[in-house]
Amino acid sequence: MDSQRTNGENNFGTDRSAISFLDWKNFFSEISIEGIRYVIKPGVHISRRIFWFILIILSFGFLLFQIQSRFAYYKSRPTRVDISFIRNETLRFPTITICNSNYINLTRTKEFGITDIVRELNSENPNFSFVEKAFKENPNVNLNEIHDYLSMDVARQIITCSFSGKPCSASDFTIVQTSAGKCFQFNTKTQGYMVNEPGLKFGFNIKLYADEKNYLFTSWNSVGYRILLHDELAKPDVDVFGFIIGVGALTSVSIKLNKFIRLPQPYGECNDSKNYRYDACIEQCKAKFIVKSCKCVPLWYSAESTVCDPLRVSVCALPKMQEYYLTNQQSKCSCKSQCHDLNYDYSLSSSRFSKIDKNIMATSTGMTVKEVEDNIVSLNIHFSSLEYQKIEIKKAYPILALFSDIGGAFGLFLGSTIITFIEIADWLLLNTMIICKRYYSRQKANILKVKPSDNADS
């Protein structure tokens, strides 16, 4: 037994000494790390060894610092903004939402005997006791049910209409309820009109009849229309984003398309869903805020909730909408921007109708020249160019750039590459495998030698 242990110990000693065949000094003298040969090469003066050793250690420290810095920058997910101008053969025309400044027809309120009620409800400081009393005296009147009838008639408002020289009519418009009342839209999602030429002749032209004599009150203290240009899936917030055009004049609107492309997480905070719209999300947020206090929402909200009667709109819903903006409730909504968004920049120009044009319109419509001046709006919307602006947020530091910087740091501080350290890792792994293999071989040999000796003793 003692002799066998001695042999085992000798074998173990042989295993340890056998590692020398790997020749680590020779390995490190040949590896591509600048200066390391002066540390391990025989015959180099001790002062030079120390100098090169310190230099390599410092360089290695700077290397680690640079690697940590690059990884930290990569983890911060930096972005950049690329702006490009792209010319297309065709561009999709925007959806146009058109709202009359007056959205309640005076003549029709007189039919129901509710003119005073409606006027009071929409005044700046409504007398709610008067309104409540009036509703009690007229129990059969439900303003929500007759709202559509009380609104300005769409077909009556459209005198002439054309798109790219082709005539259109009231049937080409879609009715939509907004905070500005009953409006109508051209070029909705189902229509998808495209433009292949810029200029006035290839745009949208319409003449509208404002019908001032039936104005009960106006949202913007003017006679005319409010117009909004937007993406076909967007919720039209005419009160916030629309522009006003007046009667007795031609208004020309020159538009340019902007495309925004944002990055989702972890690089940004946008929603990549195809049917998601930021303004629809904000509308839902507003509706929830109103419902919380009023238990209902105004007619123009698409939220699944009870529709407020006109009195409740004036008493509760409208004040809550004011509170929503004044207390910055929007910041509490979890609405993200769209990852893909369209926006239309526009510039307006207008000119009064000439006497000749007024006479022609008066003859064709059966109006007087005075009625033309006071009621007719002419609108042209066209692309100024088929070139659009693309604003895209991109990754400023992709993973390839990270590896390039790390590789550059290896070369700068140690005169090596990432492959050098893969080579070192490979050498260490190979050494570990050899040591383990020799160790287990020795253990197995010892077990085989011990067993016959135990049998002999028995």
Secondary structure string (H, E, C) spanning 346-400: EEEEEEECCHHHHHHHHHHHCCCHHHHHHHEEEEEEEECCCEEEEEEEEECCCHH
Domain ranges of the chain: 2-11+35-74+412-457, 83-394
Structure tokens at 231: 């993406």
Structure tokens at 99: 């709202």
Structure tokens at 32: 């591509």
Query: Which CATH superfamily is 83-394 part of?
Result: Acid-sensing ion channels like domains (2.60.470.10)
Q: How confident is the model over 194-204, as a mean pLDDT? A: 94
Q: How confident is the model over 146-160, as a mean pLDDT? A: 87
- Tens-digit pLDDT profile for residues 400-433: 999 889 888 877 777 777 777 777 787 778 878 8
Q: What is the 3-state secondary structure (H, E, C) of 400-422?
A: HHHHHHHHHHHHHHHCCCHHHHH
d(CA 172, CA 92): 17
Who wins on pLDDT, 235 or 351? 351
- Tens-digit pLDDT profile for residues 52-82: 888 888 888 888 999 999 999 999 999 999 9
Q: Number of helices and strands (H, E) in the chain? A: 17, 17
For 32, list phi and psi in degrees, rounded to 5. -85, 60
Q: What is the pLDDT of residue 452?
A: 56
Quick check: 18 pLDDT over 50?
no
Sequence-distant (6+) residues with CB within 8 A of 232 are 95, 187, 188, 189, 192
Who wins on pLDDT, 419 or 182? 182
Structure tokens at 146: 């007759």
Half-sphere exposure of 178 (CA within 13 A, CB side): 30
For 381, list phi and psi in degrees, rounded to 5. -125, 125
Structure tokens at 302: 């698409």
Who wins on pLDDT, 159 or 407? 159
Average pLDDT over the chain, rounded to whole?
Answer: 84
d(CA 420, CA 32): 6
Contact status, residue 348 vs residue 253, Cβ threshold 8 Å: yes
Q: What is the pLDDT of residue 31?
A: 66
Distance of CA 228 to the CA centre of its chain: 20
94 cis-preceded (ω within 30 degrees of 0): no
